[in-house]
Amino acid sequence: MTGSGALLRQCPLLLPQNREGTAYEGFVTAQGRDFHIRILLPMDFQLKNARIECSWHLKKILHGYQHILKQRLHSCPDLVSFMVELKTILEIALKNTQNLHIPRPPEYYSCLVRDLEILGWNKVAYVDTGLTTIKLKAEDSCGRQHLMTLKLNAKYPTEPPDCLVDFPVQFAISWMPQNSLIDIYNQFLAALESLKEFWDAVDEIDGKTWVLEPENPTRSATTRRIAIGNNVSVTIEVDPRHPSMLPECYFLGADHVVNPLRIKLNNNMHLWDPEISLLQNLKDLLEIDFPSRAVLEKSDFAKDCGICYAYRLNGTTPDQVCDDPRCGQPFHQACLYEWLQSLPSSRQSFNVIFGECPYCNKVRKSHENE
């Protein structure tokens, strides 16, 4: 799932605990200090379902950053990327923890209050009692609400605050000692407009189709798993910098259903028109209409797993379907893999296991880290 060499370079003290690569334990280093951590990944390696265990000391330092860590778990493609994000967040948290103990000069408060008054209190969503954390709110040109969290250190405005936003791309501010909160706010507004086309595209998908995953997408989420029909869906990965371009598409469902869709996508790629919406392009290329939220309920095509009899398991939905058209039973990948492993008649080749469908006895295959 991840390059072990890349992980070793980023976190040389974090070591795998099993052959499957689903458990890691060791230390993460920030500002010359080592913090004990343990990461447990599910069998499908989905980071959003990972479990992170750490020492009480690290937990205390990261208190207040849990929502950001959760967001990064959902958006990072692999463990290496997440560890880079974790170290960055830990650096910020450590710096802010240290700053809490640094007495702030009177100039800090007078400068900050003046900046807030010039900016306008109507743009402030939250200020903590110590005037070290500020949340600013903004509305983009389409009326979407956004928040930016600023963590200020004792040397403000000589040094810039740390900015935390719910963006699908990195937000880095340019800062000079003579700058103020207004300059950050204007950069925030400019960044919002640069992402307008991306959010327009995913908002149309969220509003007009049945999105199976993520259940409640954040503004930083770039993937959508869209229902096409009964136990058939497509997962798209939209490039936030180029949202009008053809996204990566991965079909989920029985082969006899998804193969014709793959053929249509390949044959019609030349018809992609960046001047029309991403959703309309997908309809045109696949020659389909996605199930409408106005006409159908989610239960019409979101079927429970045939093994555990639940729809959602550890945050995942059924993404495996029996290929037999007369069966078409959906399963969670983890459930199917465990079922096939339990059958004496199953055979395994590397990380692929072959065995019988529990409903129709047709031979199925499942990948350990699919």
My answer on whether 159 and 234 are in the same domain is no
Domain annotation covers residue 222: yes
pLDDT band at 214 (very low <50, low <70, confident <90, very high): confident
My answer on whether 114 and 184 are in the same domain is yes
Domain annotation covers residue 14: yes
Q: Which domain holds residue 275?
A: 209-286
My answer on whether 85 and 110 are in the same domain is no
- What token pair was written down for 287? 């020659």
What is the model's pTM? 0.63
Q: Has residue 221 got a pLDDT over 50?
A: yes
Q: Given 164, 192, 220, which residue is the final one in a domain?
A: 192
Distance CA 227, CA 212 (A): 7
Among the listed ranges 252-266, 286-300, 336-350, which one has the minimum average pLDDT value?
286-300
Distance CA 357, CA 336 (A): 9
Region 299-315: mean pLDDT is: 74
Looking up residue 268, the CATH number of its domain turns out to be 3.10.110.20
Looking up residue 149, the CATH number of its domain turns out to be 3.10.110.10
Provide CB contacts within 8 A for 157, sequence distance 6+: 111, 115, 177, 178, 179, 180
189 backbone dihedrals φ, ψ, rounded to 5°: -60, -40
Residue 229: Cβ within 10 Å count: 14
- The answer to whether 50 and 41 are in contact (CB under 8 A) is yes
Domain annotation covers residue 200: no
pLDDT digits (tens, 9 = 90+) for 73-110: 888 888 888 888 898 889 888 877 766 566 788 888 99
Percentage of the chain beyond pLDDT 90 is: 36
Domain annotation covers residue 202: no
- What token pair was written down for 93? 């948290």
For tokens 């499957």, the residue is 20
Q: Has residue 253 got a pLDDT over 70?
A: yes
Q: Has residue 1 got a pLDDT over 50?
A: no
Among the listed ranges 130-144, 190-204, 282-296, which one has the minimum average pLDDT value?
282-296
- The answer to whether 369 and 45 are in contact (CB under 8 A) is yes
- What token pair was written down for 73? 């778990």
Domain annotation covers residue 304: no
Q: Has residue 159 got a pLDDT over 90?
A: no
My answer on whether 11 and 92 are in the same domain is yes
Region 116-143: mean pLDDT is: 93
Region 140-159: mean pLDDT is: 91
Domain annotation covers residue 114: yes
Q: Has residue 69 got a pLDDT over 90?
A: no
Region 61-84: mean pLDDT is: 85
* Confidence at residue 2, expressed as pLDDT on a 0 to 100 scale: 43
Region 155-175: mean pLDDT is: 90
Distance CA 213, CA 230 (A): 15
* Confidence at residue 254, expressed as pLDDT on a 0 to 100 scale: 75
Looking up residue 343, the CATH number of its domain turns out to be 3.30.40.10
My answer on whether 171 and 185 are in the same domain is yes
Region 128-132: mean pLDDT is: 85
Q: Given 41, 69, 100, which residue is the final one in a domain?
A: 100
My answer on whether 93 and 118 are in the same domain is no
My answer on whether 131 and 214 are in the same domain is no
Domain annotation covers residue 134: yes
Q: Into how many domains does the chain fold?
A: 4
pLDDT digits (tens, 9 = 90+) for 267-306: 999 999 999 999 999 999 999 999 877 666 666 666 778 8
349: left (phi over 0), alpha (psi -120 to 50) or beta: beta
pLDDT digits (tens, 9 = 90+) for 11-43: 888 888 888 888 888 888 888 888 889 999 888
- The answer to whether 67 and 38 are in contact (CB under 8 A) is no
My answer on whether 50 and 124 are in the same domain is no
My answer on whether 39 and 80 are in the same domain is yes
Q: Given 100, 129, 146, which residue is the final one in a domain?
A: 100
My answer on whether 57 and 131 are in the same domain is no
Distance CA 44, CA 40 (A): 12
My answer on whether 69 and 140 are in the same domain is no
Looking up residue 94, the CATH number of its domain turns out to be 3.10.110
- The answer to whether 140 and 193 are in contact (CB under 8 A) is yes
Domain annotation covers residue 349: yes
Q: Has residue 255 got a pLDDT over 50?
A: yes
Q: Has residue 50 got a pLDDT over 90?
A: no
My answer on whether 33 and 85 are in the same domain is yes
